[in-house]
Each structure stands twice: as structure tokens, then as C-alpha cells.
Amino acid sequence: MLDVIEPATEQVLRQVPRAGVDQVDEAVARATAAFPAWRDVTPAARAGLLRSLADTIEAELEELATLEARNAGKPIGDARGEMGMVVETFRYYAGAPERLTGDTIPAAGGQAFTVREPLGVVGLITPWNFPLTIAAWKLAPALAAGNTVVLKPAELTPLTALRFAELAIEAGLPEGVVNVVVGPGSTCGARLVEHPGVAKIAFTGSTEVGRSIAAAAAATIKRVTLELGGKSANIVFADADIEAAAAAAPGAVFGNAGQDCCARSRILVQAEALDDFMAAFEPAVTGLRVGEPLDDASEMGPLISAAQRETVAGFVPDGAPVAFRGTAPDGPGYWFAPTVLCPVERDDRAVTEEIFGPIAAVIPFRDEAEAIALANDTIYGLSGSIWTRDGARALRVARAVETGVLSINSNSSVRVTTPFGGFKQSGYGRELGPHALDAYSETKTIYYATEGN
């Protein structure tokens, strides 16, 4: 059995069976058996089942939010918003089965056209930071395209995935279409990647693990999409609304206790605005309410585990240039106060490595060219922000920064209706928006001869 620990109390929240290779094989077999009938469900009927699933999740939103808040240690307000996004994701992709259109292409001697076909059994390997939300980004388009799925959630946070599988049956999805296995990535995840009956792997997690998945998937020529690490930059020019940029910055880096691949943990501020920015940023950080996940007033919860807290603490050794920090509760729980480093050397670990914790490094820059160079000085390219009142500059910098998702005068990263994914070692492929369906289907070309041979 697997002990699922509650991060805010360090107590066992629940025990669940721990799967191994045999359970993965059984899940793939169930998904394989269910695939032909699910593929043949009419588009309108499949759309109706996905709408039913969205309604079923919405009816249990508070239960799911409470479970997510306790299991992942996130504030209940954030958890409610995330479960709302799960509902929105399934509603959005409920429109997809009737819109999987192809093309007609002129061809000599006949007519050519394309159709979209499902891949088959899809393996979904998801992280612990946004457990059901990120799973939904993969589940909804995969199911809409006619695939069956085997979902392997992170061992630290499996509870909402297991509840989701129950809700899928309640909503009317056939047995075997959605399967969940809870076990170690080194065994269960690896088996999904190597299994010859799995057509595709969709993975969200660390860049290191993503590399190993891409390499292992090559043996069976599996389709792979990877959403990996990030080291995003929040670029604040001197002509920006400094008060607004400073007020928004804590949410962009300390949200989910910094355990977010989109976290803007590098805050680049034009040198002449640095003092004003820091003066406005400090009360926004020190005023952040770090507390119990089920307290409606909490804005940040604990880190996910003792190991994660130890890793994060390593970025703030004795003598680190701490400009200011917030507060965190004493006693049980994997708490870590939000921390701002400044000044920092540009080769400092906090500047170059993904932290996955509530630490921000503030770095001054001289001009537009240096801001772009600093933003791009990383192996990652997932997200970022640009704050300026100069519209032409905003667009120039947005085109020059090597990252998959950018926002101007905001810190927004993810919308259900728009593509999400990274450049460079932040991964490849796109989730969400209309483009996600391409990752869960294949193009088939059909030629119909109309003239004799």
C-alpha cells in the first residue's frame, strides 16, 4: 500500500494500492479492449458523454477541490479555481468530436481527402503540482479524439485522479475507456513508455525525466508530447506601471508555493526602476498570507514534501543575498516562506536552475537588448511576462524572447482555448486550444479514383 501524505500536517491522508508492471499491463489490456467500441461511438454521442462528464465533475467540484487542497497542499481558493478549469476543459473539448474535420485536395483522376483517426491507447503521465488540472489537459482531447487512456498520476498526489475515474463511469463513459494506475515512475511510468500496445505518451514533469521518456519511446516509435521545466522571466521596463507589476509579481512566482513550471522566478527590472519596484514589491511579498490550505484566507500553502523543502532551502544557503521574505507557519507541515534574492550574481543557482519553490531572484538590466539576452540565457523556454507602456517595444520583445507563452502587462500563462507548451528544453508539442487534438490523432489520406485505370 501507498501512504498518501498531507503536506500541511505531515500525516497520512489515505492509503491506496500501489501498482506495478502487472497492473500497468492489465490497464493497457482494458484500454485496448475498450478502444474499438469507443472509437466507433458517433461524434454526437461522444460529445454528449464528455458534456455529461463535465457536468458530473462540476456537481462534485467542492469535494474535488477539498481533496486537491489537502493532498497537494494548495489553498482552497486555488483548488476551486483549478477544478473549475477541469470542468471548462471538458466542456471545451466536448465540442471537438463533431469538429474533427479534414481537407479535400485536388488530385488527378479522382478525389483525395483527409480524415483524423485516433491513435489507440494513450499513456498519460502527470505531475504532483496541479494533479487533476494537468491530467484534464491531456484526458479531454485524448478522449474527444476517440482514444482510450491509461493515466499514471504522481504517487504524491493520486487522490483526485482516482476519484475522476469513478466520476467517468458515473457520467456514462464505458468501462475501460479511462484507467488509472498509481505507482512509481521508475516502474509504472517506464512500462507505459515501453509498452508496445501504447501508441502515445503525454508527459508533464521535469526536463530530466522528459529526456529519458523521449529516448525510451524511440524504441517503439511512440508519439510523445513533453511539457517540461521552466525558468521564466518577468521583464519590467522602467516605463511600465511599476505598482501594478510589483503587485502582480508575487502571484507569478509564489503561486502554488512556486511549484509551477511557469513560475516567473527571474524578475528582470530595468535598472532605473529597480528601487521603486523593490519598494512596491516588498509589502506585496511580506503581506502574502501563507497558511492552512482549507483556510479561505490562505494565499500560499506548504511545499509538497520534506524532500522538496530541503531542495528549495538549498537555494538560500547561509549568506544568501535575501532582500526580504514573507512569513510561514511554525509546526507540522512543509512550510517555506516566500523569499526574494537581490542582488544576485547572474551565474547563481537561483538564477540559472529551476527552483520549484517560493524563491524569486531580482536582476537589473540596462536596456531592451540586455533584457532579451537575459531572458533567453537559459535552456528553458516555457512562459514569461513583459511589462511596458510602449506597445511597439512589447511586441518586439515578445517576438524576440524564446518562449512558448508570453503575456504583456499581465502574468497569465494558461487558457483552455489557447495553445500551451514550450521552446527549447521546456518540451515539444502543445496542449490546450484547438491544436491539442493534433497530438491525439493521425492524419489519414484517402484517394478515390473516379476515372478508369
- Catalytic positions are 227, 261
Q: Which residue has the cell 484517394?
A: 447
| Alpha-helix residue ranges (DSSP H) falling in 292-390 | 306-313, 349-352, 368-376
C-alpha cell at 420: 500551451
CA–CA separation, 76 and 304 (whole Å):
15
Please compute Rg for the chain using Cα positions: 23
Question: Under 8 Å CB-to-CB from 364, ≥6 apart: which residues?
Answer: 268, 269, 270, 271, 274, 343
Residues 416, 394 contacting (CB under 8 angstroms): no
The conformation of residue 187, written as its DSSP 8-state character, comes to I
| Residue carrying the nine cell digits 512596491 | 280
Q: For residue 379, which amino acid is it?
A: I
Q: Which cell goes with 283?
A: 509589502
The residue to which cell 500496445 is assigned = 197
What one-letter code names the amino acid at 309? R
Query: Cis peptide before 36, with omega less than 30 degrees from 0?
Result: no
What are the start-end ranges of the H helices in 189-273?
190-194, 207-217, 242-254
Residue with cell 479514383: 449
Rounded Cα–Cα distance for residues 146 and 43 (Å): 9
Q: Which residues pair with 110 in a beta bridge?
A: 107, 449
Q: Name the strands in the sheet holding 339-341, side by side, starting at the edge strand that comes first in the sequence.
A: 322-325, 339-341, 359-365, 266-270, 233-236, 384-387, 407-408
The grid cell for 247 is 503587485
Closest C-alpha among 86, 66, 217 to residue 139 = 86
Distances (CA, A) of 451 to 103, 109, 445: 21, 5, 18
Q: Give the integer Cα–Cα distance in Å for 358 and 348.
A: 16
